[in-house]
Structure 1
Amino acid sequence: MRYILFITVLLLSLRAVGQDKLAIQVFNAETKTPLEGVVLKFTTINKMLLSDGEGKILVPGYTGEYTIEIGHIGFEKVLVKVSLPLKVGLKIYLTPVVKLLDEVQVHTGYQTLPKERSTGSFTTLDNKLLAQQVGSNIVSRLEAISSGLIVDRSTNGGGRLMIRGLSSIQGPKAPLIILDNFPYEGDISNINPNDVENITILKDASASSIWGARAGNGVVVITSKNGRFNSKVKIDANINTSFSQSPDLSRLKQITSADYIDNEIFLFSKGFYQSQINNSQQPALSPIVELLLKKKTERYRVWQLKQKLNG
């Protein structure tokens, strides 16, 4: 008889527990469809539950007042106070969270366009990317971080910008620089890279439709930092430090006069100075080259005179 009574009490308690496990259904507030994989967390008990394919969550047979947190990826979390055991099922609606990605703005100099509406080939560099590079000027920071942009240091120690290689033979090779919507005629190295907000590099013929023939070598559009209406005061500090060994002027290796003259004669015989000699702007030549050129001209005149006498 005792065993029968014990089994009866046990069945009644299991039935009571089963009644306590009433379902909490979770739905999408927009589509009204049940959500699968919703996480239910008790704030006072280290217990987490997951919903099934129908959005149902079976609550354990706890008793008392609890605050449960219901959340799902892509939805806002909801805090609900419940009194367990539940007498009726709960229906909870979660609102989707809408997050917009930051749009990439392309600055052409005349207008600012989203990336999706812009045509042609371009590269956009923000201030954070420029600040990651080490360099005292903007040319050294642009080097090796933008595709299609080349820094030529063979003819200019400070570096000369070229977009997509050599564009012309006799004409100018430097791209057009636009600083705050106006053409910049000065040296780009004089622009403080810490004052730059972003840089857009226009690489193809679509830039010519905006800036004309001057954009044939590409366009570098630079937008500097400026104040905004009702914005708070913001101060940025950036320190660049470089170290170099002090030269010892007493130990500098200098070429002798005889070796210098021999070197000039060798280069002259190989036509190294021919482009400077034929240059219409008449650049300055060394005294050795001037003497060699004068001697070559006299020999040519003597040869012409002999040809006339023999003819």
Structure 2
Amino acid sequence: MSFPTVRHRRLRRTAGIRNLVRETVLNVNDLIAPIFVTHGTNVRKEIPSMPGVFHLSIDQLDAELDEIVSLKIPAVLLFGIPETKDAIGSSGFAEDGIVQAATRHIKKRYPDLVVVADTCLCEYTDHGHCGMIHVENRDGHIHAEVDNDESLDLLVKTAVSQAEAGADIIAPSNMMDGFVQAIRAGLDEAGYSHIAIMSYSVKYSSAFYGPFREAADSAPQFGDRKSYQMDPANALEALRESESDVLEGADMLMVKPALAYLDILRMVRDQFDLPLVAYNVSGEYSMVKAAAEKGWIDEQAVVYEMLLGMKRAGADMIITYFAKDAARWLQ
């Protein structure tokens, strides 16, 4: 049958009807709010390229946590800005590291708030890469590369120290081959078989990370991350990466960034049945904030449409710097 018997507008006629037939729903339980914790005291410093997002010292966390909990956002994702950095990122797996200390503080104040710990080395290494650097002399020229297998031991140490501090979920974002297998084995051996791994399974070498690198002070000091993060031109590779993580014991998969990779979200959703996370990254956030400040777009409407698109593409959860704003609007 076709027009005039079929009239699609009948199901769009009123708000009540539209609510009844809505296929995709965004709610506050889908949201994870990132937090940048830093050393020092009395630090609440807005990140210039990310309006409304702050560097917070641990003594300034409580107001942020109170707001997040009052909005019923179920989870936070912790990134740390350490006081010191070195070649192996040792402050990332130190017992008194910034993420470890923040985790203990959060779990003491709000035991039921889910703490997701980002597990990478780039914020803690003086060279800004996500793993150990191997330097060699080739025909009189110095070459530096990220050593995949040596990096795994450090990532395991980091994950175990975060679990010991009380993190509920370990979220490794380094894109080393075999990182899920290594971290799963390390957590199990240390007695943390109950701690879930939210793997950054599909992480592209993206231009959308610019503001985050300012926020996390994690820009590489030489070269780039194209040898371990994915080429934005590749889609099938995303399935291979995801399959490896599933086989190695990941509990959740992630696609990062989200907005330019909705096709990848859908591909991963169709292929695997693990919970799927979309990361609405810093560049996506900052573009909307800048356009909204100019009065060029309706921020609330655009953010809702973006996040709804990520859900429609297959995401079960969304990490977003809009988490608090979205939670207010959804109320």
From the CA coordinates, give the structure whose radius of gyration is larger: 1
Considering fraction of residues, name the structure with more helix.
2
Higher RCO (C-alpha under 8 Å, 6+ residues apart)? 2
